[in-house]
Amino acid sequence: MMCRQIERAFKVITIFLTIAVFASTARGDLSGWRIGIDPGHGGTDPGAVGPTGLQEKEVNLTASLGMRYFLVRQNAEVFMTRTTDVTLSLSSRANFMNSNDVDRSICVHHNSSSNPDPNWHLTYVAEGTGWATSGDLAFDISHRVTDFNGLGFGWSNCGREGVYEENFYMLIYTYMPSVLPEISFISNPLEEQRLYHDRYCYGNGRGMYEGIMDHLGGWGGDAGEVEGHALEIAQLPTEFKLHQSYPNPFNAQTVIPLELPQRSMVKIELFNVSGRNLGTICEGIKEAGWPKVHYNAAHLASGLYFYKVVVEGLEQGGSFMDTGKMLLLK
């Protein structure tokens, strides 16, 4: 008798646990949700530029790729206006969101000021939507991003912490609930140094993802896990690649973007037009991903230069070599 009672109790508990596990899985799943991500600026439009030359278009993309990784892992369908450094008009970005009929549109930006001091987070929504669905999403994103990067909120004009109403193009020409997070101030010298690290940008991407989870899925995970998860970026490049340096022409800061499918030893050397080796721009181990090598050519005269990249894969082997040219105009 006693045994049967225990067995019955056990069955009830098992059924209860099964339901609980199923419910928590369902709550954390974004299947069926179509999320649009627009990494702001790109190509000929660098966006804001930090005190030592870091360009907003670059960090917008890195944070966006981080966000996409986590969303895809939760089975969301993600639509990105750009995944590389290309020039796009605002109307084509809005059309992209509308024609793909996404459920939420997230335009990723970093803020800037002529004053080097400010550094805070705000997520923008169209006027009058601070307490509507857009405002709910903005509130969740703002709180998760600041959980990660430790920044405070800028002043709100709608009485909702972390949310600011302003009629940016992408907020009023998209048909779905739309938000525009300005993650932090690239114009702040200390913040710019943090933004140079891809892992920091991926972490901000995870913060945005967690805000979306809070908004749509009811659970966003633990922001404290960012460092470990940032290493898992699933959509790594599939091959070694060297991209054109930018800006080009330049004076005197430039960025050489690479794609590495695996952890690699990277060496970049500089040559002049007559083929003379002018020294090494960079030599060392880089993690898999989209590393950007920053170079300051202030000591060189105006002219055309070549950069030669040699890469040795450290995980699956293989090697890669390519050359690019850049024009220094002082």
Using CB under 5 A, list all residues that contact Zn ion: 40, 47, 109
CB closer to Zn ion out of 90 and 327: 90
CB closer to Zn ion out of 109 and 292: 109
What's the rounded Cα separation, in Å, for the pair 199 and 41?
21
What's the rounded Cα separation, in Å, for the pair 102 and 261?
30
With CA atoms as reference, report the closest residue to 40 among 82, 103, 4, 96: 82
Q: How far is the CB of 108 from Zn ion (least distance, A)?
A: 9
Residues 290, 302: contact at Cβ < 8 Å? no
Torsion angle, alpha carbons of 200, 205, 209, 210, to 10: 20
Q: How far is the CB of 321 from Zn ion (least distance, A)?
A: 35
With CA atoms as reference, report the closest residue to 36 among 92, 123, 96: 96
Looking at residue 67, its amino acid is M
Instruction: Tokens for 37, please give them.
Output: 């991500």
Instruction: Tokens for 116, please give them.
Output: 């080097």
CB closer to Zn ion out of 40 and 221: 40
What's the rounded Cα separation, in Å, for the pair 278 and 276?
6
CB closer to Zn ion out of 61 and 255: 61
Q: Which residue is nearest to Zn ion (CB)?
A: 109
- Give residues with Cβ within 8 angstroms of 62, minimum separation 6: 198, 201, 202, 205, 290
Q: How far is the CB of 109 from Zn ion (least distance, A)?
A: 4
Q: How far is the CB of 230 from Zn ion (least distance, A)?
A: 23
Q: How far is the CB of 279 from Zn ion (least distance, A)?
A: 35
CB closer to Zn ion out of 46 and 289: 46
CB closer to Zn ion out of 47 and 181: 47
Q: How far is the CB of 56 from Zn ion (least distance, A)?
A: 5
